Chain A
Amino acid sequence: MSYSDKVIDHYNHPRNVGSMDKASTDVGTGLVGAPECGDVMKLQIKVNRETNVIEDAKFKTFGCGSAIASSSLATEWVKGKTVDEALAIKNMDIVKELSLPPVKIHCSVLAEDAIRAAIGDWKKKQEATTPVAAEAK
């Protein structure tokens, strides 16, 4: 199986590799795994609380070239998007962009899972830190 040029580019020059402070309330962390191949992917986002815009994103993936490329692309795409816009990213968008073959679709699924998990983690933190307005009854 041969990788597309875009996959090779992301693999050789992964964007946004690294990590952020997991404990920070601005940071959401998603740690997900693809059971089919045993890959593991960590994706973190830093969100502006005023605007809900994702200002920074980092990832670290242990897995095949397609998994690394999918997560690298995912960090590029979420940066500058609002949380809601980022939630609209679908795995098939990644498949198209990277020309992933059918056997590597699970890598794109993993990347979408990672985005969702990171946003989910961030949302949970916001609920915990901002007092919920009492509902008028």
Chain B
Amino acid sequence: MRAAHFCESCGKVQPPVPVDYFSFFGLPPRLSLDVAALEKSFYELSRKLHPDLNARAGSQEQEWSLEQSSLLNDAYRTLRDPIKRTEYLLHLEGVLLEEQSKSATEQARATGELKKQIVPPDLLEEVFELNLHLEELRMNKKMGDDDPALFEEIGKAKLSLEAKHEALLRELQTYWKEWDGLIDRGPDASTTDRQRVSGKLVDVLNRRNYIRNLVRDVNAAMEN
């Protein structure tokens, strides 16, 4: 159910209640989200909650509409973006990305065993190699040298990265469906199930971070 933004009988703006962004829009925490419907509901609410439209209301009501509007904007910006939406859901699930890596290191320290790297080794190698090429390209430019072969190689790598990025988004969507299946099952879905699927989501987001940074760096290096 949507959080009560307005009084049921008089229609006046109500104080914001602490809810998550999904509930703010009256949505279940599903990841496959109808963005067009979300947008529609955003515009509807934003018209009604806009502080300017409540200018003639009492100061208390104005204050509430300001708070509600800012919550609405945050909620909309977070939910309309597929990555931010997924990250937000993981945050709701209590997954702390940073903590995960730190506690894995602490465990490795205590047991003397090697920490399992979250990012697969071959991806790390690829990222490292490409970064070396990019550095070379930047150096060349600084010296005024031109190395068409290097430029071409980086261009190829860029295409392959973009393809990987697309593939990761598709992979992410398959885990969205798994997650949504759990939400649809309601209380029957166990904590273990939720943890298993959120683990997969974290994994895809991590790999995507690598690719995203690389694409950004490649673009910057090629444009300059």
Where the two chains meet, the residues of A that have a C-beta atom closer than 8 Å to any C-beta of B are 31-38, 40, 42, 60, 62, 87, 90-91, 105-106, 109, 112-113, 116-117, 120
Question: Which B residues are in CB contact (< 8 Å) with A40?
Answer: 124, 127-128, 131, 210
The interface-forming segment of B95-103, B139-147, B168-176 is B95-103
Instruction: Determine whether the beta carbon of B102 is less than 8 Å from that of A106.
Output: yes
Is residue B32 within 8 Å, beta carbon to beta carbon, of the partner chain?
no
8 Å CB contact of A37 from B105, B135, B207, B209: B209
Point out which of B102, B105, B118 has the most chain A C-beta atoms below 10 A from its C-beta. Answer: B105
Cross-chain pair count, CB within 8 angstroms: 73
Query: SS class of chain A's interface: helix, strand, loop or mixed?
Result: mixed
Q: Would you call A105 and B114 a contact (CB within 8 A)?
A: no
Cβ–Cβ contact A35 & B128, under 8 A: no
- Distance between Cα atoms of A113 and B118 in the complex (Å): 12
- What would be 30 A-B contacts, judged by CB atoms less than 8 Å apart? A31-B121, A31-B124, A32-B117, A34-B101, A35-B119, A36-B98, A36-B101, A36-B209, A37-B213, A38-B127, A38-B212, A38-B214, A40-B124, A40-B128, A40-B131, A60-B128, A62-B127, A62-B131, A62-B135, A91-B102, A91-B105, A105-B98, A105-B102, A106-B101, A113-B105, A113-B115, A113-B117, A116-B114, A116-B115, A120-B114
